[in-house]
Amino acid sequence: MQINVGVIGASGFAGSEFLRLAAGHPNLQIGWATGESQAGTAIADLYPSLAAVHPNQVFVSYEPALLLRGIDVVVLALPHGASQAMVPELADAGVRIIDLAADFRLKDASLYDIWYGESHHAPELLDSFVYGLPELYRSDIRSATRVAAPGCYPTAVLLGLAPLVRAGMIERRRIIVDAASGVSGAGRPPKANTTFCTVDENFTAYGLLTHRHTAEMEAHLDAGVLFTPHLAPMNRGILATSYADPAPGAELTTEVVLAALADAYADEPFIVVDERPPSTKATQGSNCAHLSARVDPRTGTVIVLAAIDNLVKGTAGQAIQCLNLMVGLDEPTGLPRVGVTP
């Protein structure tokens, strides 16, 4: 089975990572790759790492006629807000859609006003999208034609906490999340706060009380979340540390919580549950999430840790995992489970 994919916004980090992973997938063929700011530029010139698999292909500007080239799936790797203008046309064309931005992750349109500071321009389409976290919503993704891939921070946090919330083991009123991300999470375009001189030998918090990914965490945990993101001086990776109180009457120990996570993910190909504290380096280049947990008997606090590669399990790898489900392929097809080290 050959699946022809069009990638809109392929010149960014998320889009180029999709191109990298697709090159190792036996069933995916890149029909075209758009990059408005890089139209006419050879993919290999912008990303020499892709030269062996895209030696002559160039980024093109998007135009509706591209959809007539036998495209089965369109992946949108655009900044937030841009997908809303394009999805209605794509939906009319009848292609499967995977959106890597936040445009269709939230079902409640009013949350876009609150967390993104602007109204949603296609609220009538929100319900047509499935949240693309396979470990939690696999059956929905299998039958979906439109998927909104989760944000990288919510992916790490939800994978760590959802089994405990669903089992009634932790209190939902207030969950505290501290998470650090590599600089690639901010995208390829240069920004003052992501230059080398700003990021190198620096570690800083940002988005205090207002980070937009909070809405996803709260929606899928049905809980109150206080989220503080941090920017770490590394290219890739997310490490999320979450703190929660045990639910009333729950007698929790480290062994009990680790066992709950291990049971929840026993058959999952991309989840590692271990007593070892997870590290971002262990996940680099892989589609795996590494999880661990502790229960502090002194304070009664449950601590859950999760590490992922923000560009793979947090973005492009997750998109391919969803794509495999949508088209009926084995879910792990073409996705790496082993990280790159050193």
- CATH code: domain of residue 189: 3.30.360.10
With respect to residue 340, please indicate whether it lies within any of the assigned structural domains: no
pLDDT tens digits, one per residue of 260-269? 999 999 999 9
Checking if the pLDDT of 233 tops 80, the result is yes
Supply the pLDDT for residue 191.
83
- Order of strands across the sheet that contains 301-308: 204-205, 225-231, 175-181, 238-244, 301-308, 289-296, 271-273
Helix (H, G, I), strand (E, B) or coil at 308: strand
CA distance 306 to 240: 5
Residues 321 and 228 in one domain: no
Checking if the pLDDT of 189 tops 90, the result is no
Residues 323 and 207 in one domain: no
With respect to residue 341, please indicate whether it lies within any of the assigned structural domains: no
Supply the pLDDT for residue 275.
97
Checking if the pLDDT of 342 tops 80, the result is yes
With respect to residue 336, please indicate whether it lies within any of the assigned structural domains: no
With respect to residue 335, please indicate whether it lies within any of the assigned structural domains: no
Sign of CA dihedral 56, 31, 87, 47: negative
Instruction: Kindly report the length of the chain.
Output: 342
CA distance 169 to 232: 31
Residues 323 and 275 in one domain: no
pLDDT category, 89, cuts 50, 70, 90? very high
pLDDT tens digits, one per residue of 11-27? 999 999 999 999 999 99
In eight-state DSSP terms, residue 339 is -
Residues 319 and 301 in one domain: no
| Selected catalytic residue, list 152, 197, 288, 322 | 152
Residues 162 and 306 in one domain: yes
pLDDT category, 190, cuts 50, 70, 90? confident
Residues 97 and 140 in one domain: yes
Mean pLDDT of 237-243: 98
With respect to residue 333, please indicate whether it lies within any of the assigned structural domains: no
CA distance 232 to 142: 35
Q: What angle do CA 4, 5, 8 make, to 5 degrees?
A: 155
Residues 146 and 284 in one domain: no
Residues 58 and 43 in one domain: yes
Mean pLDDT of the chain: 96
CA distance 269 to 317: 13
pLDDT tens digits, one per residue of 100-117? 999 999 999 999 999 999
- CATH code: domain of residue 76: 3.40.50.720
Residues 255 and 132 in one domain: no
With respect to residue 228, please indicate whether it lies within any of the assigned structural domains: yes
CA distance 185 to 206: 13
Identify whether 288 is a catalytic site residue.
no
Supply the pLDDT for residue 340.
93
Residues 180 and 293 in one domain: yes
Q: What percent of the chain has pLDDT over 70?
A: 100
Residues 92 and 157 in one domain: no
The total number of structural domains in the chain stands at 2
Supply the pLDDT for residue 103.
97
Q: What angle do CA 189, 50, 181 make, to 5 degrees?
A: 45
Other residues' Cβ atoms within 10 Å of the Cβ of residue 222: 9
Domain range enclosing 300? 152-310
Supply the pLDDT for residue 12.
94
With respect to residue 179, please indicate whether it lies within any of the assigned structural domains: yes
How far CA 177 is from CA of 60, 123, 162, 166, 229, in Å, comes to: 40, 29, 13, 18, 8
With respect to residue 132, please indicate whether it lies within any of the assigned structural domains: yes
Residues 145 and 185 in one domain: no
